[in-house]
Amino acid sequence: MFIEPNFRGERRGWIEVICGSMFSGKTEELIRRLKRVKIANLKAEIFKPAIDVRYDEIKIVSHDENMIQSTPVDHSQNILLLAQDVDVVGIDEAQFFDQQITVVCETLALKGIRVIVAGLDMDYQGKPFGQIPNLLAIADYITKLHAICVVCGNIANVSYRRIKTGGQVFLGEKDFYEPRCRVCAALEND
């Protein structure tokens, strides 16, 4: 972890965004980075949206079943209240948070905290999802991950929804979604 002192001897914070489609390894990468934070004996708080109970009500769990303790929150402003005296804040499924998540992340970084955020950059229609585009705009570091298209084997950047129901937010796993490349997702929608 790079904590460089500024001219006043204080830590400088930053924002890292891990984005991509479903099944691309975003949560896996978030967990990997947070485990390294713990190895470095840094204090971290980890958050997820309370609505995401797909694998566990409290833990962040990857599709590969790696997991880490987290605190579910209903509103992003609660992160500011709960992230006191920490070096690092991890946030999973950021696309499900309210509009204030960008302000929360910026506030944390200005306090000298490293913020690691993971989330879907596009919805099932290939449209920008939630506040991720705004987080990408203010991020210091961006990691874009790709899955493999289940139809053709190319890189996948679309979380293709296999059923034609629900709005933009429709929680599901492999039973409702599959990774597809841009072309295979478009062919199915014609």
Per-residue pLDDT of 5-44, as tens digits, reads: 444 556 789 999 999 998 999 999 999 999 999 999 999 9
Which domains does the chain show, CATH number per domain? 14-146 (3.40.50.300)
List 16, 45, 93, 178, catalytic entry: 93
Q: Is residue 163 predicted with pLDDT exceeding 80?
A: no
If you write DSSP's letter for every residue of 1-14 in order, what string do you get?
A: ------TTS----E
Helices marked H in 92-144 — which ranges?
101-110, 132-138
Distance of alpha carbon 116 from alpha carbon 109, whole angstroms:
10
Please state which of the ranges 29-33, 71-75, 99-103, 184-188 shows the lowest mean pLDDT. Answer: 184-188
Active-site residue flag, 93: yes
pTM of the entire predicted model = 0.85
pLDDT at residue 159, as a whole number: 85
Query: Are 123 and 28 spatial neighbours (Cβ–Cβ below 8 Å)?
Result: no
